[in-house]
Structure 1
Amino acid sequence: MKRYIIYSFAILAFIGCRKVEKETDEVIDEPQKVVEDSLAPKVLEEPITRTRKQIKEDLKAKGFQTYDYIDEKTHDTIVMQQYFMAFLKSGPIRSQNEEEAALLQKEHEAHLRKMYELGYADISKPFEYNSNIRSVTIYNVPTFKMADSLAHADPMVKEGRLVVEIHPWWAAKGSSLRE
């Protein structure tokens, strides 16, 4: 009798586990249904709002310079942040052959992409080629020294094909280009 109870229990346990595995497989086979039932997409759509004071405190803690600007038309208080605009100009060493220049260009573009991805640069775009100023990068860093260091890490600058000229620049925090 004892054996019968043990065997019955083992069979029931096996059947019970098998049923759970089947349910688990169904969930794995339908990952989209799980995502659709989730509240996560709705949460991500809600904007994160911070007060002007919180924005300024966060920037100050990171070492950024800011000031308040009062818009004459709307009377809104706008947080202005100091950025650094780096102008890349034609450098004195432009003797690289076509292949070397092409390789430097790829390294230059990779450097700028990395600056953007790391959050150090907000925008970097070229000017027309008939100008001595080749491109501009707006660095979103707290100090001139940091912007200068990042700009001089550019492979084109290191090789002398470009030279850097940096100027402090003020813009409203969160402002963007018009569409």
Structure 2
Amino acid sequence: MRALSFVIALFFILSFMGFGQNSNPPAPEMMKKWYFVMLKKGEVRTQDTAEVRRLNEGHMANINRMADLGVLRIAGPFLDNGDWRGIFIMDVKTEEEVIEHLKQDPAIAAGRLSYEIHPWYGPAVIKTNWDKE
């Protein structure tokens, strides 16, 4: 029985060894730097229902504006109602550009949302259903 347990454990260990670091990373031209934005609950959550609706409409308008400019590649909310509210993946040159776009979001300006910005190295092309053909 001990031998069978050893063989099964060895099988699982060897099976997962292939999931380590890729020895052939993608070519640099296949990768690029993006900016990953984590939207979080802000400090100011006392707005009344009408104000929350107005801020959400402005937030969505800013998302559409950034998508139309081609700087927003991915956007979406988290569905678990936690402190993390959503994400953006943005295609800009600098973190300062990210901040300039985020400043135009009424929900961020009002303190209802806050954010963290992280440079992210990912695939050179991210296609979305709102891409213009």
TM-score category, normalised to shorter length? 0.7 to 0.9
Deviations 1:75-110 (A, max 9, x none): 862521111011110001111101110111011001
After TM superposition, list the pairs within 5 Å mapping 1:1-179 onto structure 2.
72=24, 77-79=27-29, 80-176=31-127
In 1, Cα distance between equivalents of 2:35 and 2:123: 13
Match of 1:63 in 2: none
Contact 2:73 2:127 in 1 (8 A): no
* Aligned-partner residue type, residue 75 of structure 2: S
Q: Tell me the TM-score normalised to structure 1 length.
A: 0.55
Moved segments of 4+, more than 4 Å: none
Report SS of the residue matched to 1:95. Answer: coil
In 2, Cα distance between equivalents of 1:168 and 1:143: 9
* Aligned-partner residue type, residue 87 of structure 1: M
In 2, Cα distance between equivalents of 1:107 and 1:93: 16
The structure with the largest alpha-carbon Rg is: 1
Q: Gaps (5+ residues) in structure 1? A: 1-69
Contact 2:40 2:115 in 1 (8 A): yes
Report how many aligned residue pairs link the two structures: 106
More helix by share: 1
In 2, Cα distance between equivalents of 1:116 and 1:124: 9
Q: Tell me the TM-score normalised to structure 2 length.
A: 0.72
Q: CA deviation at 1:130?
A: 2.4
